[in-house]
Structure 1
Amino acid sequence: MRGLLKLLVAAAVVSAATGLWLTAPNRVAPERFANLTGDSIKGEHVFTASGCASCHHVPGAEDKLTLSGGMAFPSDFGTFYAPNISPDSEQGIGGWTLLELANAVTRGVSPEGQHYYPAFPYNAYNKMMDQDIADLHAYLQTLPASAVPSKPHDVGFPFNIRRSLGGWKFLFFNDQWVIDVPPELERGRYLAEAQAHCAECHTPRNILGGLDTGRWMAGAPNPSGKGSIPALTPNKLTWSAEDVAYYLESGFTPDYDSVGGHMAEVVENFSHLSAEDRTAVAAYIKALPAPGTK
């Protein structure tokens, strides 16, 4: 009996140690960013393509460069609120180093070593180039500071246990490209899969909130509970590449309808990018495989 008890205790210790190891934050190697210098001018492009202002500006405010946060993102797991990412040293991220920003953006880990919820699309940003992150860091420091505290997430048990997000990352964190493309489509893939994180809205999720990559860009329920996010796959989207590029520039569909909802923010961002970038994203979208054929 005593031997069995010792065996059970040992198994419990091993299980606990394994759980702690699996759920521990995974940070980037410091040497990756040690010699990088950011360019704030280039960083503005990264900021725009990545849609930072779309989520982090004050809801309803005309000023979209004071990133006080507060926008709500409802989900099956609770409601998440975009935090203050202005350069305020107390309430924002003004005190963050480049390495700390890189850990947040590409690993979903805070400077304090806590996991971020995947409402923050680090599972897309983790494919961004290191220099782009350095440039973004430089640009963020040029924006207005705001002392408005971040609004806490409204998430109940057990989803409020941050450590458990390490298990989610173990299952779903993926820094590899989803779609294989020829070289001429790599720019569009980079913008769509990484910076603009299109799949975060346009791809359905499984019961644990992970993206169902087998139905990549196949459309998804609207997290707000109102309607759905349309599919971008060839079996559903009949627009030409030119139609897609024009929509990203103007917000007008081939049927003379106009963009609405959060997509209006996305179009505003893309309208400030180059025509070449919009054409690249359109080409990537038209190259998407039908669901289940990837």
Structure 2
Amino acid sequence: MPRRTLLAALIAAGAAFGLYWWLTSVPLAGAVTAPAFTPDIANGEVIFNAGGCASCHAVPNQPDRLKLGGGLAIPSPFGTFYAPNISPDKADGIGRWREEDFVNAVMRGVSPEGTHYFPAFPYTSYAHARPKDVRDLFGYLKTLPPVAGKVRDHDVPFPFNIRRNIGIWKLLFFDQQPFAPDLSRSAAWNRGAYLVNSFGHCAECHSPRNFLGGIIASQRFAGGPNPEGEGWVPNITQKGLSDWNEKDIAYFLETGQTPDGDSAGGSMTRVIKNISQLLEADRDAIATYVGSLPPVEGPPRPKKKTGEGS
């Protein structure tokens, strides 16, 4: 190969690597937190329940939902993730984290070490939260019992295990716009919209995803294949809930019981345990918002094989 051609190839390769390094880097700007802040612990508990933190982070197979030692396996098309210990344990949890570390993790998907978190952690929804609510949540978590124990590493194959690549994924799919209330709607509707689209992260499960794992925006809330691998997540727009009224939705969020007498199953049972702890007004607000979602056609559900039940 001529020297000039080799030099051009090396320059092109260097430029491509530099561009990759820049695109996958973590932006230096961090979350803004005021120097003096007294958390509202009661509000932090509300946010904890709205966010369903115990659904993933409580130690599996034990009754105390406030033992946040992690360990739950979360299957996905990209590998199996394991929910981390977020108890205030100083060795194995987040007991040594600063408030800024927590806000950056929850709202930007960035670790205290400055690396990207995998979006199995739904910071793509939490980014729309108010920083004060996130800070209140941190204050509440610090009141819970520390739980010792390291959680095993994620079981994610190459190339999905390369965290730097998440930087490009974020450029494609990570919308960090803060929640903006709709002034033409009621206070209850806006409260429901805020909870559903931020801490409630309902779209994370109730929306189909593309081959890169990004939510298909045009089918948001329209259901689809269970990201954990088995079953089908229902459409919660009026296409799927046309026979439900707001009272039906609120009652389901409290009890897990559907209008036709069925009950929630799978991971939704864990969600109900958390949502049922909210004030009735917040569940009603969620019901108001969900009940207003216009009908959206979801992906076609696969036909059952011969011999399977109806």
TM bin, normalised by shorter chain, reads over 0.9
Determine if the alignment matches structure 1 residue 252 to structure 2 residue 257: yes
User: Relative to 1, partners in 2 of residues 1:99 and 1:180: Cα closer, same or farther, differing over 3 Å?
Assistant: closer
Cα distance in structure 1, aligned partners of 2:89 and 2:273: 26
Determine if the alignment matches structure 1 residue 231 to structure 2 residue 232: no
Letter in 1 for 2:209: R
| Identity between Structure 1 and Structure 2 (%) | 48
TM-score (norm 1): 0.94
Q: Name the one with the larger helix percent.
A: 1
Cα distance in structure 1, aligned partners of 2:110 and 2:29: 10
Cα distance in structure 1, aligned partners of 2:138 and 2:234: 33
User: Relative to 1, partners in 2 of residues 1:135 and 1:201: Cα closer, same or farther, differing over 3 Å?
Assistant: same
**Range with bigger deviation, 250-259 or 95-104:** 250-259
User: Relative to 1, partners in 2 of residues 1:212 and 1:179: Cα closer, same or farther, differing over 3 Å?
Assistant: farther
Partner of 2:197: 193
Letter in 2 for 1:16: F
Partner of 1:80: 81
Partner of 1:52: 53
Partner of 2:296: 291
Contact 2:71 2:82 in 1 (8 A): yes
Map 1:28-47 onto structure 2 (within 5 A).
28-47=29-48
Cα distance in structure 2, aligned partners of 1:113 and 1:156: 22
Deviation readout 1:55-105 (Å, 9 max, x if unpaired): 101112101111110111111100001011110111100000110001110
Task: State the Cα distance separating 1:165 from its structure 2 match.
Answer: 1.0
Cα distance in structure 1, aligned partners of 2:224 and 2:180: 18
**Residue from 215, 218, 231 that aligns with 2:219:** 215
**Range with bigger deviation, 68-77 or 10-19:** 10-19
Contact 1:26 1:109 in 2 (8 A): no
Cα distance in structure 2, aligned partners of 1:36 and 1:87: 19
Contact 2:80 2:155 in 1 (8 A): yes
Task: State the Cα distance separating 1:20 from its structure 2 match.
Answer: 1.0
Cα distance in structure 2, aligned partners of 1:193 and 1:204: 16
**Range with bigger deviation, 33-42 or 16-25:** 33-42
Cα distance in structure 1, aligned partners of 2:64 and 2:28: 33
Task: State the Cα distance separating 1:35 from its structure 2 match.
Answer: 3.8
Indicate the RMSD between aligned Cα atoms, in angstroms.
2.0
* 3-state DSSP of counterpart to 2:198: helix
Contact 2:99 2:135 in 1 (8 A): yes
Determine if the alignment matches structure 1 residue 128 to structure 2 residue 129: yes
* 3-state DSSP of counterpart to 1:74: strand
Cα distance in structure 2, aligned partners of 1:9 and 1:268: 57
User: Relative to 1, partners in 2 of residues 1:285 and 1:62: Cα closer, same or farther, differing over 3 Å?
Assistant: same
Cα distance in structure 1, aligned partners of 2:219 and 2:180: 11
Contact 2:52 2:275 in 1 (8 A): no
Contact 1:202 1:217 in 2 (8 A): yes
Cα distance in structure 1, aligned partners of 2:54 and 2:170: 25
Cα distance in structure 2, aligned partners of 1:106 and 1:177: 10
Cα distance in structure 2, aligned partners of 1:37 and 1:23: 35
Partner of 1:262: 267
Map 1:117-196 onto structure 2 (within 5 A).
117-176=118-177, 181=182, 182-184=184-186, 185-196=189-200
Contact 2:81 2:156 in 1 (8 A): yes
Cα distance in structure 2, aligned partners of 1:277 and 1:28: 33
Map 1:53-72 onto structure 2 (within 5 A).
53-72=54-73
Contact 1:36 1:131 in 2 (8 A): no
Determine if the alignment matches structure 1 residue 243 to structure 2 residue 253: no
User: Relative to 1, partners in 2 of residues 1:72 and 1:251: Cα closer, same or farther, differing over 3 Å?
Assistant: same
* 3-state DSSP of counterpart to 1:206: coil
Contact 1:28 1:103 in 2 (8 A): no
Task: State the Cα distance separating 1:228 from its structure 2 match.
Answer: 0.4
**Range with bigger deviation, 10-19 or 175-184:** 175-184
Cα distance in structure 1, aligned partners of 2:120 and 2:31: 25
Alignment length, in residue pairs? 293
Task: State the Cα distance separating 1:262 from its structure 2 match.
Answer: 1.2
User: Relative to 1, partners in 2 of residues 1:135 and 1:243: Cα closer, same or farther, differing over 3 Å?
Assistant: same
Letter in 1 for 2:291: K
**Residue from 202, 209, 212 that aligns with 1:205:** 209
